[in-house]
Amino acid sequence: MIRFIAHWQFLKSEMIPFMNLDPGASTATDRPLAQTALRLSRLNAHVAYSLGIPAGDHWYRLSASRCERQVEAWYREAKARCGDSRRAAVILGQLLATSVVHLWLVPVLAENRLPLADFEASAFHVHDDGWIDAVAVDTARMAVLPHDPATGEPGVTVIETRDDLLSLAVEQLLAIERSFECIRSVCRIGRPFLWGSLLDTIGAQALAIARMTGSDRWRAWREAEDIMERVRVACPGLNARPRPFAVSWIRGEELFLVRGTCCLHYRTVQGAEPNGHGYCNGCPLRTDESRASNFIAYLERTNGD
């Protein structure tokens, strides 16, 4: 698995006291959502999931992203660290997109379970090195399919089909609009950059789950395309989307993602070259020839793990 690490170290240096992040009452380990959180944490060693928002520094409720004063602080520090205003704005969008996808979509893709937590009941944690290493919800409410063993448990809502469950997950993802607009009120950035980062994250996480579980990559991608299309329908004018990129190596075929929206990281790298230093392997500005050799080298170096 390729770990996506964004430059989010800025979040740790300037935090406006926004609210207390209390652990919450729904933390019993025998609750169905707690069991899902444990399995998701074991599945992905880089992003832990928990029921109950832990006490401690560097936890942020998602609702803070709707506070202009907080977003201004994040943006100011991001710009100071990366030295580029446009890149700083994209970082904020990536931060929020990664959070909501891990909180709400990943549990559906992995276990057909959707935490029914709003922005106030959801939070993310920033690692010392600047990447999101944990997400949490402080409610045990969730939606499941009819065959789920959690049906009948308190706080569990049954949804008839996976298609309906995905629709509900997309509805929760779309609530990020208020946060994106808050970012736009603070800095100059177009909606396509922000919503494009959400589409890229959806595609990336769908493929990541397929790799971690050993399931069919193309099937995962087709479902990701369906989810992205639902987002696009709700957001007119959103044209760019990520695309799959297959490479062949000694153990067969592996599927990677080419982003539909550039993260602008190259703007912060001195001497960046479009097909080399300073450009991500999945950057839409790279040539496919240059990215193919890098992806194959990565697979050989990690043995595909």
* Closest C-alpha among 118, 141, 107 to residue 61: 118
What pLDDT score does 23 carry? Answer: 35
- Would residue 262 count as lying in a domain? no
Q: Is residue 41 part of a domain?
A: yes
Q: Give the CA distances from residue 90 to residues 127, 184, 203, in Å, rounded to whole numbers and listed in that order.
A: 19, 11, 18
Domain count, the chain: 1
**Maximum separation of any 2 CA atoms in the chain, in Å:** 59
Q: Does residue 4 sit within a domain?
A: no
Instruction: Report if residue 298 sits inside a domain.
Output: no
How big is the CA angle at 181 (ends 177 and 187), to the nearest 5 degrees?
Answer: 145
- Indicate the residue type of 86: R
Find the CATH number of the domain harbouring 191: 1.10.510
Q: Which residue has the tokens 């040539």?
A: 287
Amino acid of residue 255: L
Overall size of the chain counted in residues: 305
**Helix locations, the chain, DSSP H:** 32-43, 68-82, 85-100, 106-111, 162-173, 177-186, 191-213, 217-234, 288-302
Query: What string of H, E and C letters represents the secondary structure of 83-106?
Result: CCHHHHHHHHHHHHHHHHHHHHHH
Tokens of 229: 């299309």
Looking at residue 13, what DSSP letter applies? T
**Cβ 127 vs Cβ 59: under 8 Å:** no
Is 223 a domain residue?
yes
> Amino acid letter at 51?
L
Look at residue 292 and tell me if it is in a domain.
no
CA distance linking residue 52 with residue 34, whole number of Å: 9
Say what the pLDDT of residue 74 is.
Answer: 87
The helices-and-strands tally (H runs, E runs) of the chain is: 9, 9
pLDDT at site 19: 36
Residue 305 lies in a domain: no
Q: Taking a C-beta distance cutoff of 8 angstroms, is the pair 211, 229 a contact?
A: no
Q: Residue 150 in 3-state DSSP?
A: coil
Rounded Cα gap, residues 115 and 24, in angstroms = 15
Q: Would you state the structure tokens that stand for residue 282, as one six-digit string?
A: 């999945």
**C-alpha–C-alpha distance, residues 151 and 38, integer Å:** 19
Which residues constitute the domain of residue 88? 9-240
Which residues 6+ apart lie within 8 Å of 222 measured at CB?
A: none
Residue 252 is assigned to a structural domain of this protein: no
Digits of tens for pLDDT over the chain (305 positions)? Answer: 333 334 444 444 334 333 333 333 445 667 899 999 999 999 998 999 999 998 888 899 999 999 999 999 989 988 988 899 999 999 999 989 999 999 999 999 999 999 999 999 999 997 776 678 999 999 999 999 999 999 999 999 999 999 999 999 999 999 999 999 999 999 989 999 999 999 999 999 999 999 999 999 999 999 999 999 999 999 878 888 999 999 999 999 999 999 999 999 999 998 888 888 899 999 999 999 999 999 999 999 988 77
Q: Which residues contact 34 (CB under 8 A, 6 or more apart)?
A: 27, 28, 51, 140
Q: How far apart are CA 225 and CA 39, in angstroms?
A: 25
CB atoms within 10 A of CB 217: 18
